[in-house]
Amino acid sequence: MPEATVYVVDDDHAVRNSLSWLLESVGMRVECFASAGAFLEAFQPDLGGCVVLDVRMPGMSGLELQERLAAAPVQVPIIVVTGHGDIAMAVRAMKAGAIDFFEKPFNDQMVIERIQQCLEENQRSRADRTARLAFTERLASLTRRERQVYERVLVGQSNKRIANELGISSKTVEVHRARMMEKMGARSLAQLVAMSVSCRPPSPANRR
Amino acid sequence: MRGFLAVPLALMFLGDAIAAKPHPETLTAECRASDCVPCLPRPELRSELRLESPPESPAATTGAHARVVRDVSMPIPTSMPERGESAPSPAGIRTGLPGDSTQPLLIALAAAALLNSLWLLLMNRRLRWSQHRLETEARRGHATLEASRRHQAALAHALQVGTVGEMATGLAHELNQPLAAIINYAQGSVRRVQSGALEPSQLVRPLVDITRQAERAADIVRHVRQMVRRGEPQCVRSEINDIVCLAVRWAQLEGGAERLQFALELDVNLPPVFVDPLQLEQAVLHIVSNAIEAAGSCDRPGGQLGDLSNDQCGGRVTVRTQLNAAGRVQVSVTDNGPGITPELKGRLFSPFATTKAGRMGMGLAISQTIIESHQGELTGSAVEGGGAVFSFDLPPAPRSEAD
């Protein structure tokens, strides 16, 4: 996985260079792009890091690029910066999912902190995504019986009740349960529940 | 100010002259003489005065005379209304007097004397009345002039504020870029120095960059100050292409310009023009801004609305300089926007004519004023197939001694 990087997309050479000089001073890895198009070419869905995006650029504007990125399967946090912003522009940026909106010239401390937050968040969300993918894979590896046991264990049913419901012996339930726990990589019931809750794909009702 | 006084004075004099010898042509001629007054709304004033002249025309005076003859039996004519059938006729005077042989002569003499004095009395009243009216008219004319002056001053001010205001977005963006860069370079350096991870020699590059960016900001400020400076036009021999290039660069600062294609078709062999470069730049700037606005509106025929993936909506602005058939230096700005709507056609260059929210519609009015003061004329017309072209031409500068 590539190292967390700040991608600066700005058509102004001086702004790009200076931002890179600033961010590198706090040990960040920075890559600069002179246009939205150039960034899109280099963009990969599993890109780790955060994008600092100028709104006004020749060709594709920052806001358009943002809308394109929002359609990508993996969300990369975006901080929008502009030389001259208005409320409408800020609203549009935030609605399209920007983490923050800064007007140039900005307070370096605030921007650095925000970028750091974004990088951490992105790292966390990427770790979450990896965990979720692994969980889904493991869940898919369960047999039908194991899956039935898994679902009933998760809601707190006893082995005896599971055996009754499925019409099999308690001993058989225990065997399925042990195998299921092993396949899921859970050492305890608590761990299995925690894993299931955190990795459950968000239900449509919960999604914003 | 002398012009202001000249009008009422001329009118007062005319009031007398007309009463003595009515002559409407004199009035018009005198008004023309006062046309040197700047900002005078000439056609209106002249037509108002023309309206005034008919009562003083020979025909009208004869009419008044006729009325006097008929009113001769009245003690003192207090007013001018037409009398009805009940009014005694001049013939009635004779019938009321004894029938002596010398009497008819005496009566005739007395009647003539009475008639004469009444006529003089009446004419005097009438003269005073018309003089009063002319004075009122002159005062009104003066007020109109004053109002027109104020209007012009307000327009000029709106021009200054409006131009800067309309450019503010682009200007703020343009100034904030170098400022942001300066702060970033400075803060990046401070952080490195504080963490001890910096050799002094490494500071040279950011410091040079800071200087360059500060100069960039200062250039912008200087140019804006030049543009909004008031003062008499200062004409010098200038290259029209230089002026056009600067104006286009400034116009491109406006929002939306980055989406458009610009084509500069400049004839490099043009003779110089004798103009105020800053004023003319402003004139061209407004025309180009107008074109940018139009070309950026995207609702052109055949244009695909909202097709942003094509990253431009096909807006195009072409600025051309050339020597026209009349041997004058011509500048034309063509856009492929929605063109000129019929309702806007008649008032393209009038102030406050705008189709844009938040715009004052001063641009083209300003351009026209500037171009006219340089012996040029700004014209605008629709282009077949959509869009508009605005162009003006200027006389080439007279040959200098160096040529």
DSSP-assigned letters across all residues of A138-183: HHHHS-HHHHHHHHHHHTT--HHHHHHHHTS-HHHHHHHHHHHHHH
Contact B367, B244 (CB under 8 A): no
Set of chain A residues whose Cβ sits within 8 Å of the Cβ of B185:
18, 21-22
| Whether B343 contacts chain A with CB within 8 A | no
Q: Is the complex ipTM higher than 0.85? A: no
pLDDT score recorded for residue A126: 83
Inform me whether the C-beta atom of residue A27 falls under 8 Å from chain B C-beta atoms.
no
- pLDDT of the residue at B46: 36
3-class SS of residue A47: coil
**CB contact (8 A) between residue B195 and residue A17:** no
CB contact (8 A) between residue B181 and residue A14:
yes
Those residues of chain A that have pLDDT short of 50 are: 1, 204-208
Q: According to the model, what pLDDT value does residue B137 have?
A: 65
List of chain B residues whose C-beta atoms are within 8 Å of the C-beta of residue A106: 180, 183
Question: Are the C-beta atoms of B375 and B343 separated by less than 8 Å?
Answer: no
Q: Cβ of B313 under 8 Å from any chain A Cβ?
A: no
Express as a percent the part of chain B with pLDDT over 90. 18
Task: Specify the residue for token string 């046991």.
Answer: A149
Partner-chain contact B191 A22, CB within 8 Å = yes
| Whether B315 contacts chain A with CB within 8 A | no
CB contact under 8 A, B209 and A106: no
CB contact under 8 A, A14 and B174: no
DSSP A112: H
H/E element, B253: none
Do the Cβ atoms of B392 and B379 come closer than 8 Å? yes
A85 Cα distance to chain centroid = 28
**Judging by DSSP bridges, how do beta strands A29-33 and A78-82 pair with one another?**
unpaired
Quote the CA–CA distance of A56 and A38 in Å, as a whole number: 15
Q: Tens digit of pLDDT for each residue in B337-349?
A: 887 776 666 666 6
Cis omega before residue B8 (within 30°)? no
How many angstroms separate the CA atoms of A36 and A9, rounded?
7
With an 8 Å Cβ cutoff, is A113 touching chain B? no
Are A59 and B216 a contacting pair at CB < 8 A? no
Q: How many residues does chain B have?
A: 403
Q: How many CB pairs under 8 A join A and B?
A: 93
B209 touches chain A (CB under 8 A): yes
Interaxial angle between packed helices B103-194 and B58-70, expressed in degrees from 0 to 180 and rounded to the nearest 10: 140
Which residue ranges of chain B lie beneath pLDDT 70? Answer: 1-112, 114-115, 117-127, 129-130, 134-170, 227-233, 254-256, 298-313, 342-362, 400-403
Residue A7 tokens, joined: 């991608």
Residue-wise pLDDT tens digits, B227-269: 666 556 678 899 999 999 988 888 887 666 777 888 999 999 9
CA separation for the pair A44, A39 (Å, rounded): 10
Q: Which residues of A touch B180 (CB under 8 A)?
A: 15, 18-19, 81, 83, 104-106
- Per-residue DSSP letter, B182: H
Q: Is B179 on the interface with A (CB under 8 A)?
A: yes
CB-CB under 8 Å, B172 with A83 = yes
3-state secondary structure of B169: helix
Could you give the CA distance from residue B281 to residue B347 in angstroms, rounded to a whole number?
Answer: 23
Cα separation of A5 and A51, whole Å?
A: 8
Q: What is the layout of strands, in order, in the sheet containing B329-335?
A: B261-266, B316-323, B329-335, B388-394, B377-382
List Cβ<8 Å contacts ≥24 apart for B65-73. B65/B119, B68/B115, B68/B118, B68/B119, B68/B122, B69/B115, B72/B111, B72/B114, B72/B115, B72/B118
What chain B residue is nearest to A82 in terms of C-alpha separation?
A: B173
Best B189, B191, B194 residue to mutate vs chain A (most A CBs within 10 Å): B191
Nearest residue of A to residue B309, measured between CA atoms = A60
C-alpha closest to that of B45 among B128, B132, B139: B139
Q: Nearest CA of chain B to the CA of A57: how many Å?
A: 7
Q: Tell me if chain B has a CB within 8 Å of the CB of A87.
A: no
B192 touches chain A (CB under 8 A): yes
Beta-bridge mates of residue B261: B316
Q: What is the DSSP letter of B34?
A: G
**B255 interface with A at CB cutoff 8 Å:** yes
One-letter amino acid identity for B139?
R
Report the gap between the CA of B214 and the closest CA in chain A (Å). 11
Contact B189 A37 (CB under 8 A): no
Three-state helix/strand/coil letters over chain B: CHHHHHHHHHHHHHHHHHHHCCCHHHHHHHHHHHHHCCCCCHHHHHHHHHHHCHHHCHHHHHHHHHHHHHCCCCCCCCCCCCCCCCCCCCHHHHHCCCCCCCHHHHHHHHHHHHHHHHHHHHHHHHHHHHHHHHHHHHHHHHHHHHHHHHHHHHHHHHHHHHHHHHHHHHHHHHHHHHHHHHHHHHHHHHHHHHCCCCCHHHHHHHHHHHHHHHHHHHHHHHHHHHHHCCCCCCCEEECHHHHHHHHHHHHCCCCCHHHCEEEEEECCCCCCEEECHHHHHHHHHHHHHHHHHHHCCCCCCCCCCCCHHHCCCCCEEEEEEEECCCCCEEEEEEECCCCCCHHHHCCCCCCCCCCCCCCCCCHHHHHHHHHHHCCCEEEEEECCCCCEEEEEEECECCCCCCC
Q: Are B211 and B246 in contact (CB under 8 A)?
A: no
- Residue B64, both tokens: 């008044």
Instruction: Mark B374-384 as b/e (b = at least 16 C-beta within 10 Å).
Output: bebebebeeee
Asked if A48 and A69 count as a contact pair (C-beta separation under 8 A), the reply is: no
Q: Which of A129, A120, A124, A142 is nearest to A192 (CA)?
A: A142
Q: Is A182 on the interface with B (CB under 8 A)?
A: no
Interface contact B252, partner A, CB < 8 A? no
CB spacing of B185 vs A37 below 8 angstroms: no
For residue B211, what is the nearest residue in chain A, using CA coordinates? A14
CB contact under 8 A, B206 and A104: no
Min distance B355 CA to chain A CA atoms (Å): 21
- In degrees to the nearest 10, what's the CA dihedral of B222, B224, B225, B229? 140
Q: Which pLDDT does position A146 carry in this prediction?
A: 93
Determine the residue of chain B that is closest to A13 in CA distance. Answer: B181
Name the token pair of B314: 């096909």
Tokens of B388: 């508009």
Round to whole Å and give the CA distance between A32 and A47.
Answer: 14
Cβ contacts (< 8 Å) between A63 and chain B: which residues? none
**E-strand stretches of B180-260:** 236-238
Contact (CB<8Å) A103/B178? no
Q: How far is B231 from chain A (nearest CA, A)?
A: 31
